[in-house]
Structure 1
Amino acid sequence: MPQSVLIIEDDVRIRRIVAMALRSEGLDVQEAGSGEEGLERLGERRFDVILLDLMLPGVDGFEVCRRIRRTSDTPVIMVTARADSHDVVAGLEAGADDYVTKPFVAKELSARIRALVRRSRGTGLRQRITVGDIEIAPEEGTVTRGGEAVELTRTEFKLLTELALESGRVLSREELLERVWGYDYFGDSRLVDVHVRRLRKKVEADPSNPTVVTTVRGMGYRIPA
């Protein structure tokens, strides 16, 4: 079956052009013209990826993303007008997995969508990984801390798993982009930094003084052996 994508975009012309381009790439595309309609569609069926414009009237993209994250770990790619905007970081903090800037190339967007879908289908690892009081079950896609379940998005789970598999070794932002997001040539290190911050809020006893996911200045991140 083709990957299913929900486009939430209020500009009819842009929405239809993007939908047509993604359909030509073999994707199953549904459309919503507002945040409210998008949330309604999401209540009706499951999608593989959500393409979400940030600047929506009424319920904006940031709030839509926050509401999605309360109940779902479906990958969200946000659409923004400026790559250097603070909106990028704010959108990632709200729970988006990736972003694209207008105008974008349909083939690049479809490549990102397919990369997120491939990643969400699991690691194929059967063994459990233990980091202190954190236990990761890659096959089940679950994490516990001190026996209590930790709710992670798919991106946060993949990030934690990749770091745990290389416990003691520093992984650069570029390497994490390739391992977690599935690409490196058009990636952005902000994706890594914001998701590390989000991950720390969930797995660290004190996120401001991390001991699980540590920073190695000028190099990247690691989980101490």
Structure 2
Amino acid sequence: MSDTQPTIVVIEDDPQIRRLVRSTLQTHGMTALEADTGSGGLSEVASHQPSLVVLDLGLPDADGIDIIRELRGWTQVPIIVLSARTSEVTKVAALDAGADDYLTKPFGVSELLARVRAQLRRTASSAEVPAISFGEVTVHLGTREVTKAGQPVRLTPTEYKLLTVLIQHAGRVLTQRHLLRDVWGPDQTNNAHYLRVYMGHLRQKLERDPAQPEHLLTETAVGYRLVGLR
């Protein structure tokens, strides 16, 4: 993967759309690798460690949502879904499985490029900033050290993992299932109690007033998000 020319894996079984996406990406200075099946796409991602994946849901050998889940088992590469499926249920399912964005067909190439660039910027920003702050809290990602008002804060491994997942997706609402899967694993996605308990722990340790959180926010009936990073 080149720093100057991002590599994008396009997993799409429609050859016309695949050619369009490849041509668009290449015209704008990116390398596009293609796969027309889910298994082929997984192989391309494993072999080339791309900057981003563009994924169709209607693949001949697998459902795209299953491909998202499989990718999320071993990589945090940004995933943009490109699909003719327009139902809200499907969009939520794809995002809940770990997709970062969802674009419906037919699509405009300008919008696709804008979304690709947004994900690449987010990834580059995360890689370049070794420490992040919100409120009185600073998280040193390289050393896994957390301070509040300059004083060390002791987080358990699970608390730290939950915090880093929220940081990776700062400003974005993460569903309870998404957080449970990323922190506790795919077998624990129904144990919302775990999440409530550990979010409570983080608020006690990091918020100025845990009863009125300013940064670790609840999105009622959906999940949580982290706001106020600087």
Category of TM-score, reference length = shorter chain: 0.5 to 0.7
- Match for 2:81 among 78, 81, 89? 78
Indicate the residue corresponding to 2:16 in structure 1: 13
Indicate the residue corresponding to 1:183 in structure 2: none
Is 117-126 or 65-74 further displaced after alignment?
117-126
Indicate the residue corresponding to 1:150 in structure 2: 161
Describe the SS at the equivalent of 1:207: helix
Distance 1:20 1:74 in 2: 22
Instruction: Note if 1:119 corresponds to 2:119.
Output: no
Gaps of 5+ in 2: 147-153, 185-191, 204-215
Indicate the residue corresponding to 2:98 in structure 1: 95
- Match for 1:197 among 176, 200, 205? 176
Residue 35 (structure 1) shift = 0.2
Residue 145 (structure 1) shift = 4.6
* Amino acid across the alignment from 1:79: L
Equivalent positions of 1:175-214 (< 5 A) are: 176=171, 192-193=172-173, 195-198=174-177, 200-201=179-180, 202=183, 206-207=194-195, 211=200, 212=203, 213-214=216-217
Structure 1 residues 140 and 10, CA gap change in structure 2 (3 angstroms):
farther
Indicate the residue corresponding to 1:168 in structure 2: none
Distance 1:24 1:50 in 2: 17
Contact 1:62 1:94 in 2 (8 A): yes
Gaps of 5+ in 1: 163-175, 177-191
Residue 90 (structure 1) shift = 0.6
Structure 1 residues 40 and 151, CA gap change in structure 2 (3 angstroms):
farther
Instruction: Note if 1:4 corresponds to 2:7.
Output: yes
Residue 206 (structure 1) shift = 3.2
Distance 1:17 1:46 in 2: 22
Residues 50-80 of structure 1, C-alpha deviations (whole Å, 9 max, x = no match): 0000111212211111111111110000112
How many equivalent residue pairs? 189
Describe the SS at the equivalent of 2:44: helix
Residue 83 (structure 1) shift = 3.7
Residues 5-28 of structure 1, C-alpha deviations (whole Å, 9 max, x = no match): 110001111111221122222221
- Match for 1:64 among 52, 62, 67? 67
Instruction: Note if 1:33 corresponds to 2:21.
Output: no
Distance 1:145 1:199 in 2: 21
Contact 1:3 1:114 in 2 (8 A): no
Contact 1:80 1:87 in 2 (8 A): no
* Amino acid across the alignment from 1:5: I
Residue 98 (structure 1) shift = 0.7
- Match for 1:47 among 47, 50, 73? 50
Structure 1 residues 221 and 50, CA gap change in structure 2 (3 angstroms):
closer
Distance 1:142 1:32 in 2: 41
Indicate the residue corresponding to 1:187 in structure 2: none
